[in-house]
Structure 1
Amino acid sequence: MTALQAISFLFAAAGGTAVVFTREPRRQVLVLSLYGLVLTILFMTLQAPDVAFSELAVGSVAVPAMLLIALAATSRRRDSEQVAKDEKAPPPTDHPE
């Protein structure tokens, strides 16, 4: 194992840990995309360019794009449900009964 491979493995371990500990979903998608780039570099150091290119296309671009689209759709749905819920709520009273 070369020093470059060892460093790549350490970055991959640190990147995976960063993905797990990121709490906010949009930031997690960004960190996941960066993790895909780290894995691409790891696969290149392991002399697997075909796997590296696949990881670059899927792990760094396609999956984060799909996750961002899903997050946007769910937040839009959540916002519309909140508006509908607010419209059905009775008006607030100024004095308690």
Structure 2
Amino acid sequence: MTLLAPLAAAGFGLAMIGAALMALRARSTAVAVLAAGLVSLFASVLFLILAAPDVAMTEAAIGSGLTTFLFFYVLGRIRREGYDDD
């Protein structure tokens, strides 16, 4: 049981790096936004493993949820306004 937490933390850390690289290398903006949200979601689970539940809840709500929603909302507004100019 004692060895499980550091292994899980290392696994989620590697998953965060992988998702961040996917966000950087993505050709689509939507894929990049989803990958960035995934990084934040992995970070919230990592905070939970590290016994910081208040930080984990804040990261999940703001970082993963609200920020991803806000990015998609603004992306939709930009695309919609771009079509009106034509």
TM superposition score normalised by structure 2? 0.84
Distance 1:31 1:76 in 2: 23
Unaligned runs of 5+ in 2: none
Q: Which has the higher helix share?
A: 2
1:14-25 matched pairs, under 5 angstroms: 14-25=18-29
* Alignment size in residue pairs: 82
Are the aligned partners of 1:12 and 1:42 in contact in 2 as well (CA < 8 Å)? no
AA aligned opposite 2:68: P
Q: Percent identity?
A: 26
Give the residue type in structure 2 aligned to 1:69: Y
Report the equivalent of 2:7: 3
Residue type of the alignment partner of 2:72? L
- Structure-2 separation of matches of 1:43 and 1:49: 7
TM-score (norm: length of structure 1): 0.76
Q: CA deviation at 1:18?
A: 1.3
Check the 8 A contact 1:8/1:45 in 2, yes or no.
no
The runs of at least 4 aligned residues of structure 1 exceeding 2 Å deviation read none
Corresponding position: 1:64 with 2:68: yes
- RMSD value, Cα: 1.4
Q: Deviations over 1:17-54 (max 9, x none)?
A: 11111121112222222222111111111111111101
Q: Where do 5+ consecutive residues of structure 1 fail to align?
A: 83-97
